[in-house]
């Protein structure tokens, strides 16, 4: 009989903390190679199609930016939550609600045009996402419910609500029965950055601005300090006079607003109307982005680009090799698994404990050490 025990390391290696995402990426590649081989595809050519070809031309980089923008926007908001030890798993739902609320203007007032339309839509999108995120925050602070469960379950409510809207009350009457709203008028479309080169729109700029703003918040401002204190030692936070309930609302509203902004940017930019499905799981993939980026906004920008590539690669291998684009989900899952695994092994080491008396003269037991 053997059992495994995690023993806390006396000190963390700074080097490996920094290397962890890269090691995780390397392990994902190895595991991915095994997966491609099992699928009967030459791993090398599959990787070329998956990771290289989708970004070999300028217009493809624009596609990458389109996919990365919502991931980065959502992930920087989530990084604040996670740093505060608050677990908002429902960004996907806040994304959808942001898209719905922001679309009220182009759907109900198609005649309303001008430069005010877009800022109003974006604002409403943020309000919608924040309001939806306020529900789990309220439930947690009022009734002590677990925010992981409530925020996650609200995702499905939001998705079904959108589905009902576009099939029912919000359906385009001239749409030949297709489940979608009318096309937004030109004032409601997020402009492209360089229309001649590719489709990338202002959503990517929003994402970069949000990353810089959150970085300043977390590293330079008292509020960011409050987030870090409450997240790492709540009792010390209470001693500092910081309120945990206020922090729950702050983190949920902030991340909800950013997810909502991502949602309305997506429908007013890349899509141009509401339809039953507006996200390939951005809200969930952003959780991976946040951790792969070490919960650091600048790291999240890089991680967002990597994860965006897994989406593009999935589409590429589907069309080139006939493999399901669910491969993208597998890659994303492996990345999260390996990055969390690496992080755990940086903080702890594994000890095998045999039930017979161990002869481990060289290995001092460290768990008693402080």
Partner 1 sequence: MSANHDSTTLLEVRGLTKIFGTLTACDHVDLNIAKGEIHALLGENGAGKSTLVKMLFGSLEPNSGEIFWNGQPVRIASPGAAKKLGIGMVFQHFSLFEALTAAENIALSLDDGSPISSIAAKARALSYSYGLPLDPESLVGDLSVGERQRIEIIRCLLQTPQLIILDEPTSVLTPQEADKLFETLERLRSEGKSILYISHRLEEVKRICDRATVLRHGKVVGHCNPRQETASSLARMMVGNEVKAVVRAPAEGIETAPALLDIRALTRKPATPFSIPLKNINLRVRAGEVIGIAGVAGNGQGEFFESVSGEVLQQDAGSVRIRGKDAGGLTITGRRLMGAAFVPEERLGHGAAPRMKLSENLLLSRHATDGKAFVGSGGMVKSGAVYSASQRIIEAMDVRKSAPDPEAAALSGGNLQKFIVGRELDRRPSVMVVNQPTWGVDAGAAAHIRQALIELARSGSAVLVISQDLDELFEISDAIAVMHNGELSKPLPIAEATFEKIGLLMGGAEPGHAEHTLETA
Q: Where do contacts with partner 1 occur on this chain (CB under 8 A)?
A: 10-11, 220-223, 225, 228-229, 232-233, 235-241, 243, 357-358, 360-361, 364-366, 368-369
Taking a C-beta distance cutoff of 8 angstroms, is the pair 90, 133 a contact? yes
First-to-last C-alpha distance (Å) of the chain = 29
Distance of closest approach, residue 348 Cβ to partner 1, in angstroms = 15
Distance of closest approach, residue 242 Cβ to partner 1, in angstroms = 9
Distance of closest approach, residue 226 Cβ to partner 1, in angstroms = 8
Give the integer Cα–Cα distance in Å for 134 and 147. 11
Distance of closest approach, residue 12 Cβ to partner 1, in angstroms = 10
For partner 1, the closer CB: 12 or 326? 12
Give the integer Cα–Cα distance in Å for 222 and 79. 17
In sequence order, the 6+-apart residues with CB closer than 8 A to the CB of 12 are 346, 347
Distance of closest approach, residue 248 Cβ to partner 1, in angstroms = 17
For partner 1, the closer CB: 175 or 243? 243
For partner 1, the closer CB: 223 or 329? 223
For partner 1, the closer CB: 297 or 304? 297
In sequence order, the 6+-apart residues with CB closer than 8 A to the CB of 159 are 92, 93, 96, 277
For partner 1, the closer CB: 326 or 365? 365
In sequence order, the 6+-apart residues with CB closer than 8 A to the CB of 351 are 4, 5, 6, 7, 363
- Both tokens of 311, joined, read 């989406």
Strand partners, 6: 350
Distance of closest approach, residue 366 Cβ to partner 1, in angstroms = 7
For partner 1, the closer CB: 11 or 111? 11
Taking a C-beta distance cutoff of 8 angstroms, is the pair 115, 187 a contact? yes
Give the integer Cα–Cα distance in Å for 107 and 112. 10
């Amino acid at each position: 009989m053997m059992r495994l025990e995690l023993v806390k390391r006396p000190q963390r290696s700074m080097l490996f903390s920094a290397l962890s995402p890269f090691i995780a990426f390397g392990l994902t590649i190895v595991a991915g190679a095994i997966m491609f081989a099992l699928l009967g595809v030459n791993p090398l050519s599959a990787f070329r199609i998956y990771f290289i070809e989708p970004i070999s031309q300028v217009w493809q980089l624009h596609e990458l930016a389109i996919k990365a923008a919502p991931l980065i926007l959502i992930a920087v908001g989530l990084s604040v939550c996670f740093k505060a030890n608050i677990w908002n798993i429902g960004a996907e739902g806040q994304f959808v609600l942001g898209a719905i609320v922001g679309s009220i203007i182009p759907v109900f007032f198609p005649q309303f045009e001008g430069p005010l339309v877009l800022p109003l839509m974006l604002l409403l999108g943020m309000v919608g996402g924040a309001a939806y995120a306020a529900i789990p925050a309220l439930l947690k602070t009022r009734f002590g419910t677990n925010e992981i469960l409530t925020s996650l379950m609200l995702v499905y409510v939001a998705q079904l609500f959108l589905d009902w809207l576009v099939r029912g009350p919000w359906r385009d009457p001239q749409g030949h029965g297709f489940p979608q709203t009318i096309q937004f008028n030109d004032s409601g479309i997020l402009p492209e950055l360089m229309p001649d080169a590719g489709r990338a729109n202002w959503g990517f700029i929003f994402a970069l601005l949000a990353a810089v703003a959150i970085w300043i918040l977390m590293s330079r401002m008292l509020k960011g300090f409050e987030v870090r204190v409450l997240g790492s030692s709540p009792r010390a936070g209470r001693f500092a006079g910081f309120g945990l309930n206020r922090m729950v609302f702050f983190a949920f509203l902030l991340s909800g607003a950013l997810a909502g902004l991502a949602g309305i940017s997506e429908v007013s930019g890349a899509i141009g109307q509401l339809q039953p499905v507006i996200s390939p799981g951005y809200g969930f993939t952003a959780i991976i982005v946040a951790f792969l980026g070490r919960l650091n906004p600048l790291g999240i920008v890089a991680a967002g680009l990597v994860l965006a590539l897994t989406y593009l690669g999935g589409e590429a291998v589907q069309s080139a090799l006939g493999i399901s684009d669910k491969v993208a989900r597998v890659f994303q899952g492996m990345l999260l698994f390996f990055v969390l695994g690496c992080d755990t092994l940086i903080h702890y080491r594994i000890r095998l404990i045999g039930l017979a008396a161990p002869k481990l003269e060289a290995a001092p037991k460290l768990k008693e050490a402080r």
